[in-house]
Chains A and B, each alone.
Chain A
Amino acid sequence: MKKYLTMVPLLAGAALLASVGASSAAGKYTIGISNTVQGNGWREEMVCAMKAQALASGEVAKLNIAHRNTDAAGQLEDIRNLISAKVDAIVVNPADPAGIKAGLEEATKAGIVVVAVDQAVTEPSAYIISNNQEQYAYLGAKWLFGQMGGKGEVFYMRGAAGASADSDRDKGFKKALAEFPDVKVAQEVFTGWQQDQAKQQMLSFLATGTPINGIWTSGIDNVIVDALVESQAPLVPIVGADNAGFVGQLSSVKGLVGAAVTNPGSIGGAGVTLALQILDGKKPAQQTVLVEPQLWENATDEGKAKLKAAADPSLSPEWPVSISIPDWTTYTKDQIVACKGPGE
């Protein structure tokens, strides 16, 4: 008998949870979201953009968000749970382009619209909306090598090994490198897109005393400027992303020459918009939609003006300042900052 005592609090808890689940807001669709990096500014903005766009569209009744740190096998589990939850569409930022193919295929078979954001996937039935990562790296690297006078050593701070966004950026970086034969890579590191790790790597590199003429970062940028300033190292030209902290530094840190390349985390909102369009029967002409990046630098007056217009100190320093994408997102700044989805 004692054994059955276990069930009493459990069933009570279940009843409570079930009553929470039953509440719903206006709108007709349920959208599932799967993301496998938690605690990263860019990814948090992406998730908030998804929530804000779902709310602003008025078409979404409920979001089912699976958002945790895990691997491709864990993402498969999340995707299959979302299939069990009978969502109408799944917007996914893939942990690996090939590793979640089986899950996405099952979702499509179950009649669920699958949209991959930020990075490509190998499953042919999935729609992809992503920032053009190859162009992202090419734009920034080309500008950087030009600033370096076409020669010297560059510290190459990549993202996470194996992420398709990282391998695409590597292609763009190598393309620019081929155009400047006198530029050499002093060292190549994977930051894992982690702020603390990248700063540590920068400090270790500075400790070696190797001279460098430029730093290319895969978007972990403001901590690199901090590391240089703190250790009173010479401020070489730096390329980063349009994170609020870095964009602010480009205007405020004396002697810093750098450029921010846009990589809007709001692509998550665009993914929700694309999913809703497909659900409403408006399929895009191509499976893959690319959003083109822009470059804002502080070496010219024109660039400085752009940076000034873009700077937004009210945002968290790790959030990209491009919090919306024209034609794709309709939420307001307050909505994305509030980070509330439908029914919250």
Chain B
Amino acid sequence: MSYFLRRQGWVFGLFVLFVALFIVTRLIQPAYGSGDFGSLVRAVLPYAFAVAAQTVVVIAGGIDLSVAAMMALTSVTAASMMAGASEEYALFVVPFVLAIGLVLGAVNGMLIVVTRVPDIVVTLATLFVLQGAALLVLDAPGGAGAEWLKALISGTVPVPGLPDGIDAWLPKALLLLIVCVCIIWIPLRRSRLGLSIYAIGSSELAAFRSGVPVARTRIIAYALSGLFAAFGGLALTMSTGIGAPIPGPYLLASVAAVVLGGVALGGGKGGLLGPIVAVFVLRLVRTDLTLLAIDPNVTAIIEGAIMVAVVMFGAFITMRGRQS
């Protein structure tokens, strides 16, 4: 137990924070229930994929500024392909769009590896390229989403034998998030490739001297980031039923959640669970601020202040822990 706490201390702390916030939410709005939790998860979904995309490259010692633009491009591609098409056609669109994300992410990685231009510059450039490409696909918000795709995130998962009261707390969106993230992350984390990603993020030179294929690993990390961003783009189309070519506020939010989630921006440390719990915390803070009817111009300040406070407090606790 203490080993678990030491390894996952930050995530555990975040989870406690989430539960505490949830209790606060119930205090503010006693009627806050399972349906509202479902709304929260649906709001979390695109952010969670954006932060997953960011986390993979940050662990590998990089940064990806093109996450939000990639989501916009994949979202408009999906929405414009599905507009007027049959429901079955969407079965083809989903893997196609995910493949686009994977390929574009790999292109990001290859540009960084081959040109040796810093990642921040390359991904900034691809941000503009992808943003323009998204406007070429759809010059204005539009398109459509298949009904079955939209149904994937609305309502709850019917589990036979489970009382309705508990079942109501299992929104489909949560299941979708867990499945999509686990299918990619768990095998990766346990594989040699996953270890290599951590290794190059921790120390590129040491990894190279230990025989880790640094270039290939970096390209794969960016490709995975693109794949997660494509999931995020699909999540946007699922929730709104359209595609919007102008990127939403997901880039900065993803960096914020990565930091709050206990992933070192220098690379090599952290996991995916922390940043995703951090997204839940940040969205719930937004809910509370709305429930409390706080002046909207103040809410952004409060959100930022909470982030800094939590990260500082976490660093303080870690420091104290090391001393004792």
Contact = CB atoms under 8 A, between A and B. Distances in A.
A68 interface: yes
A86 to B, nearest CB: 6
Nearest to A344: B295
Give the interface residue-count category, chain B: 35 or more
A178 interface: no
A65 B29 contact: no
A5 interface: yes
B31 A10 contact: no
A64 interface: yes
Interface stretch (B39-47, B113-121, B257-265): B39-47
Interface in B253-300: 283, 286-288, 290-297, 299-300
A280 B134 CA distance: 45
B90 interface: no
B308 interface: no
Contact of B13 (A6, A72, A80): A6
A115 interface: no
A14 B302 CA distance: 13
A6 B43 CA distance: 25
Contacts of B31: 84, 86
A18 B27 contact: yes
Contacts of B39: 77, 80-81, 83-84
A207 interface: no
A37 to B, nearest CB: 12
Contact of A161 (B12, B139, B286, B310): B139
A82 B1 CA distance: 40
Nearest to B300: A68
Tell me the interface secondary structure of chain B in the complex: helix
Give the interface residue-count category, chain A: 35 or more
Contact of B321 (A2, A4, A14, A70): A2
Interface in A67-98: 67-74, 76-78, 80-86, 96, 98
B293 A100 contact: no
Contacts of A169: none
Contacts of A96: 141, 240, 242, 244
B222 to A, nearest CB: 24
B291 A3 contact: no
Contact of B140 (A7, A68, A71, A161): A161
A147 interface: no
A63 interface: yes
Contacts of A98: 141-142, 240-242
16 contacts: A2-B320, A3-B9, A3-B16, A7-B20, A21-B28, A66-B296, A68-B300, A73-B236, A81-B287, A81-B290, A83-B39, A98-B241, A99-B141, A99-B241, A161-B245, A167-B140
